[in-house]
A and B are shown apart, each in its own frame.
Chain A
Amino acid sequence: MGALPFLSLLLLIPVGGALAVWLWPQPARVRIVAAAAMGAELLVAIALVGCFDRSDPGFQHVERGPWIPSLNIEFLVGVDGISLLFLPLTVLLFIGVIVASWNFRRALPRLYYSLLLLQLAATIGVYCALDTLLFFLFWELSLLPLYFLVSLWGVGPNRRFAAAKYTLIMLASGVPLLFGFVTLAFNHAQVSGAALPGGLAFDLPTLLATPVSGSLQLIVFLLLLAGFAAKTPVFPLHTWLPALAMEGPVGVSALLVGLKLGVYGLIRFAVPLAPDIARELHWLLAGLGTVGILYGAVTALVQTNLRRMLAYAGLSHVGLVLLGIASFSIQGIEGALMQTLNFVLVAGGLFLLTGFLYRRTGSTDTVSLGGAIHSMPRLGGLFLLFLLAAIGVPGTSGFPAEFLLIVATLNSHTGAGLAALFGAVIGAGYALGMYRRIFLGPQTNPAVAQAHDLRPAEFGLALCYATVIVTIGFWPSLVLDLIAPAAKLWAGRVG
């Protein structure tokens, strides 16, 4: 099914947009080109969701073409219930970044918008690549635009350091990833008994069907885990997150916090490709998750800057997702996927709103803010909604996700589950405590008193996110029905 090559379109539209940005005659107007490309991308992504066959647990809209035939490396893309919803949400988040940079005059607008579009293409590629080396290519490609976006347009004085730190950590973690994929390819050649270049296999469906011996699984799992851990992020490889949150440009940090590519990689590659060892090493995943929850939550509690607090809160939330994966139950994986989807809009949205606040007041520090809701009621009101979604309050999309995760975790790792509950209690403390210091209380800073509320475009964007968040919160089966068949297959394979 699917007469249109949706996925190729999704990959080509942003690349085409990035080219068009350079061909457009007026450099000041290129933002319109970028916005148009993003809009078209969103329509295609929504159409893809509409054409998705929700009864089929396997890969759909698969497109296959030769890439490096001598090594059996193919251009192979497809989506299933696990990756499908990431596509429209990612585009929505990128549109948010465009809105956040709309009225901001910056140097080199052409470069900025084309990098943003290339980043989108690479991210979409990560979500739909089914060939391990193609995935690796997109994975590494997604670093490059980000490095320049942060180091050229970052807001902090240490933006170059932050960008270099991020890129170095990610490049270093890419090495084990590549080794892991190559090991699997050689294993396939050995199992199938074919001659070396011909017997190599890099496409995911073949690799999933190839048996891997126990000791090899251990190596592969650890390599892939090491590769994905930094981007997840996992303690102690999380330090790039608060740094980039502080230094990165207003919109772009939303991408880093909102898109949990590492978690996706774990769910898509690391666990299914080494299922037996992953199950045996459940304590490792659960331990990493527990440490992340507690470390992130407790550290977030004492932050005095909203952006740093959000970064540590992200670390804490990802910990819970890891616990859900470590439970290897259907509730755990569905909760983990829902929560990761939820992050895109909630964590991303929080960062965008923080950016709007920063744009208006020049600070996100508790010392120089306070009482912001009096001059910016819409910003404050929507921020509270997003914050409540982040701590999993019913009526928001965070609740069904966190509910499933905690139930699954309490049943599989009771001690870790109790730690997660502790994290949830502290979570309310740091989130609302920070909200109180930034938005409530008396106004002390004249910049806050004079700040204007959200502009129509910003307001419309935040309202759009809020609508999605609330709709899924009241009607979670909208998402769960799409995820469920693939999640069942996943849980059946590893559980």
Chain B
Amino acid sequence: MTIESLVGLVPVAPLLAALMIAAIRLFDRSLSDAAERPTAAVATAGVAVSLLLLLILDAATLLQQLPDRVRLGIWLASGRFEVALSFALDTLSLSLGSLIALLCFLSLRFSVNNMHREAGFHRFFFALSLFAAGMLLIVLAGNAALSFIGWELAGVSSYMLIGYSQERAVATENAVRAFVTNRIGDAGFLVGIAASFQWIGALEWHRIGSGAAGLDTLSAGLIALGFVTAAAAKSAQVPFAPWVARALEGPTPSSAVFYGSLMIHAGVYLLIRLAPLLGHSGTAMALIVLLGVATALYGWLAGLVQTDVKSALSFATTAQVGLMFVECGLGWFDLAAWHLGLHASWRAYQFLAAPSYLQLVDGPARPVPHWLGKRRWLYTAALQRGWLEPAGDWLLLRPTRGLGRDMNAFDNQVVDRFIGIAEPARSLGTAAPVQAESGAVSRGYGSAGQLLEIVAAQLARFEAHLLLQGAGGTLRSTLAHTGDYLRAVEALLERPRYLLLLIMATFAVIL
């Protein structure tokens, strides 16, 4: 066993710690002080082991130049598609990995006292250990798929910590919203992975970088677009930015590492890692600059009007991360990496010290700058945080929910009746399938049954009415009925959500 293969244990140690905490808590549910000790010890030890291993690897790199990559085996193989247990040991991964392990260790140690006798003490340490594992996996993984695993683990642990106060409705709703927003980014990541597999045939970061040279601009741009979406969602760039403000519901130490210093930088890490790929797509670079500028402005403007310390810090972070995106978009990846490391360390300290600021800072909060106070519309925009969230709701959430309600009604009223026996409780009394007409032949259920019934009834009517009376009256009423149905369908189609659905369906067919 060589020294570089130790890197495989780095994310495993906190993961094992998380599993151990979960196992202990499943069997021992006491909330005593004594029960806190093993949990805290396991969590701290897990991250400490990671830190130690990383320090050994750092030292080994300095002394004898380790290889840039190691491959420890295969995690998942299916035909040509394989996910290797490969890790990156270059300066970017090792330095960021060490920083992450150090910050996680410090905030865990901080939390042992800070979270003492909190109701969710054990949950907190479980989630934070899981987060440390995910975060370390993101930066140390040698391929996109392994990074993606860390990416999602970080998302899940952030869900658990935002919803930390389980009895509060606001906190838990924010947790769901943050997770769903993150999920959009995850979808982008998956597009990037699938496109890399399709066009480059590999998921290793260095192969994606080198393979991009042989791609046309469109393919490289599509791969980049997937990853950039992922990065923008995780780093709370402009269309996705509001989730980070909602995420502050979590306990302070977790806010420090998640949204102050570590998770919010994961997107920047992804961009730096993909620098060779992004270099082949000017459009992607321009998009990154655009997102970065918009986010920096958004964070700066909204940050000016915040009145509580955590929100102010959070918007400052958003603005800084926006600047890092700008740096990446301009091709200054080294600068972005330095910026990332320094900002992460400083912001972690600030967030952890945030509760003490209340005592340290004497006097009222700083007033809104004069020039902003004068421009009322700008002031409102800042207070409303650019209306990003209502816009997102209006564009995505409301149509989807509306569609859901329509589909649910459709399912109960139409599909259910069409297929078979509708349950009596849910079928409407007004629309009994068979009128007690004298001409009704028999009663049928479901589409097949009703088809039979209709055929029988029509034959009977054909004999009784049409042959005797001629077409006029019946035909007119049938046409009038059809007209009513068509009008109802048209009214539905005029709703924006169905327009959207039609456009989406067209896209699905074209692709």
Contacts and interface: CB of A to CB of B under 8 A. Distances in A.
Nearest to A425: B183
B125 interface: no
A295 B150 CA distance: 30
Contact of A393 (B156, B405, B507): B156
Interface stretch (B188-196, B322-330, B371-379): B188-196
B433 interface: no
B507 A415 contact: yes
Interface hub of B152, B193, B408 (most chain A Cβ within 10 A): B408
Interface SS of chain A: helix
Contacts of B415: 235-236, 238-239
A175 to B, nearest CB: 11
B156 A388 contact: yes
A432 B176 CA distance: 6
B403 interface: yes
Interface stretch (B73-81, B272-280, B345-353): B73-81
A399 B149 contact: yes
B508 A334 contact: no
Contacts of B145: 403
Given A331-B79, A417-B194, A373 B419 contact: no
Given A295-B407, A302-B408, A410-B191, A477 B183 contact: no
A169 B420 contact: yes
A433 B408 contact: no
B423 A243 contact: yes
B159 interface: yes
Given A161-B421, A415-B507, A440 B172 contact: yes
B152 A393 contact: yes
B508 A290 contact: yes
Of residues A158, A334, A407, which shows the largest number of chain B Cβ atoms within 10 Å of its Cβ? Answer: A407
A463 B26 contact: yes
A60 interface: no
Contact of B183 (A169, A428, A470): A428
Contacts of B507: 415, 418
Interface residues of B, number: 66
A463 to B, nearest CB: 7
Contacts of B420: 165, 168-169, 239-240
B68 interface: no
B194 to A, nearest CB: 4
Q: Which 7 A-B pairs have the closest CB atoms?
A: A415-B511, A330-B79, A415-B508, A410-B194, A302-B404, A421-B187, A394-B149
Interface of B: 19, 22, 26, 29, 74-81, 145, 148-149, 152-153, 156, 159, 163, 166-169, 172-173, 175-176, 179-180, 183-184, 186-187, 190-191, 193-195, 197-198, 400-401, 403-405, 407-408, 411, 415-416, 418-421, 423-425, 446, 448, 504, 507-511
22 contacts: A158-B424, A164-B421, A298-B404, A302-B401, A329-B79, A371-B166, A377-B29, A394-B149, A407-B81, A410-B190, A410-B195, A411-B194, A416-B508, A422-B187, A424-B190, A429-B180, A432-B176, A436-B173, A436-B175, A441-B168, A442-B169, A477-B75
Interface of A: 157-158, 161-162, 164-165, 168-169, 172, 235-240, 242-243, 290, 295, 298-303, 329-331, 334-335, 371, 373-374, 377-378, 381, 388, 393-395, 399-400, 403-404, 406-407, 410-411, 413-419, 421-422, 424-426, 428-429, 432-433, 436, 439-443, 463, 470, 476-477, 480, 484, 488, 491
Given A169-B420, A239-B419, A480-B76, 11 more contacts: A239-B416, A301-B404, A331-B81, A394-B149, A399-B152, A410-B190, A418-B507, A432-B179, A436-B176, A477-B75, A480-B77
